[in-house]
């Protein structure tokens, strides 16, 4: 079914009814405008700028958010059903919850620059530990990425664009950057879901160790994870030592975002991110 096309004049007439006192009329206008999907967003944003009516502006803001959120959910469903489940794309889709206008190519270019900085420091035939030390040196010494310990629960820590801008993040966002760089270099680096902490593993048939990006790329062993679990009085499970999927990483990022919004009392945002979580965790 093709979407009905309206002229700008007809769209303008619809928008002017958004502050109608008759709720039935207002609901009809909402449904009509929403039926055009995200394509009508630029027109609505233009009408918001031109309007001097705060009621209409508020209605437009809510409608635009509804349309943007609907588009985000569609993108997330497509990503979930894609064969590759590209990590950067998944993190970008989540990022658009807070920054709907964020361009994927901008995020991709920023990540490519970081990869290039690391790649230029690489030499041929490096041993695994040396490879990791070079990544650590570039990310944490040269580029100054660090743990955001002062605002650990800030929603910005789950937004890749914000982390790239401020150079501060939480365990999973810093691991995400590290992982994207490592994979682009062709290294066997993967995410690992630990309780209360997200880390990385460098894993081949012959070599296996762990990396804590939240602690400047500290290298540690399987026994250290056992000690950590023992300290938390948590029973050991295989999943705490093995690589997780890109979907697991995006899910963990969403859970962090939910906690961040809960601490801020942003109930509506908590519920919306839970909707996104249901898309990834559902059958």
Q: What is the pTM of this model?
A: 0.87
pLDDT value of position 52: 73
- Residue 3 bridge partners (DSSP): none
Contact 256, 172 (CB under 8 A): yes
Residue-wise pLDDT for 210-240, tens only, equals 999 999 999 999 999 999 999 999 999 999 9
Separation CA 253–CA 189 (nearest Å):
18
Burial of 258 (0-12, 13-18, 19+ CB in 10 A): buried
CB 93 within 8 A of CB 79: yes
**pLDDT class of 6 with cuts at 50, 70, 90:** low
Tokens of 202: 């460098």
How do residues 130-180 score in pLDDT, each as one tens digit? 999 999 999 999 999 999 999 999 999 999 999 999 999 999 999 999 999
Whole-angstrom distance, CA of residue 256 vs CA of residue 88: 17
Predicted pLDDT at 124: 72
User: Is residue 114 within 8 Å of residue 174, measured between CB atoms?
Assistant: no
Residue with tokens 């030390």: 133
- Cα dihedral 203/208/214/216 (nearest 10): -110
Whether the Cβ atoms of residue 44 and residue 250 lie closer than 8 Å to each other: no
Q: Which of 6-15, 43-52, 137-146, 155-164 has the lowest mean pLDDT?
A: 6-15
**pLDDT value for 1:** 36
**pLDDT per position as a tens digit, 122-134:** 987 899 999 999 9
Q: What is the mean pLDDT of residues 106-118?
A: 97
Per-domain boundaries in the chain? 8-81, 87-281
Is pLDDT larger for residue 82 or for residue 282?
Answer: 82
- Mean per-residue pLDDT, 57-74: 87
Give alpha helix (H) positions in the chain.
8-15, 23-34, 41-50, 54-81, 87-98, 104-119, 128-136, 160-166, 171-184, 222-231, 246-263, 267-281
The confidence band for 22, taking pLDDT boundaries of 50, 70 and 90, is low
CA distance 106 to 69: 21
Q: What angle do CA 86, 219, 92 make, to 5 degrees?
A: 20
pLDDT above 90 as % of the chain: 73
pLDDT value at position 19? Answer: 62
Question: For residue 102, what are its two tokens?
Answer: 């964020």
Summary mean pLDDT of the chain: 90
């Amino acid at each position: 079914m093709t979407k009905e096309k309206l002229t700008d004049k007809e769209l303008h007439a619809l928008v002017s009814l958004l502050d109608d006192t008759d709720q039935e009329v207002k609901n009809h206008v909402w449904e009509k405008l929403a039926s055009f999907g995200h394509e009508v967003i630029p027109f609505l944003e233009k009408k918001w700028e031109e309007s001097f009516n705060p009621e209409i502006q508020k209605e437009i803001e809510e409608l635009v958010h509804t349309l943007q959120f609907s588009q985000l959910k569609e993108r997330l469903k497509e990503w979930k059903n894609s064969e590759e489940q590209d990590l950067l794309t998944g993190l970008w889709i989540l990022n658009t919850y807070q920054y709907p206008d964020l361009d994927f190519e901008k995020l991709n270019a920023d990540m490519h620059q970081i990869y290039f900085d690391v790649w230029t420091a690489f030499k041929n035939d490096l041993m695994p530990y040396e490879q990791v030390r070079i990544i650590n040196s570039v990310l944490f010494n040269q580029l100054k990425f660090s743990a955001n310990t002062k605002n650990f629960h800030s929603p910005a820590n789950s937004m890749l664009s914000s982390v790239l801008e401020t150079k501060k993040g939480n365990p999973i966002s810093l691991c995400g950057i590290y992982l994207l760089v490592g994979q682009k270099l062709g290294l066997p680096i993967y995410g690992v879901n630990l309780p209360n902490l997200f880390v990385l593993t460098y894993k081949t048939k012959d070599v296996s160790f762990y990396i804590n990006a939240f602690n400047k790329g500290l290298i540690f062993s399987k026994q250290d994870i056992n000690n950590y679990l023992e300290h938390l009085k948590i029973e050991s499970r295989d999943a705490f030592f093995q690589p997780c999927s890109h979907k697991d990483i995006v899910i963990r990022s969403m859970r962090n975002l939910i906690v961040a919004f809960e601490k801020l009392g942003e109930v509506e945002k908590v519920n919306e991110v839970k909707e996104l979580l249901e898309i990834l965790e559902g059958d």
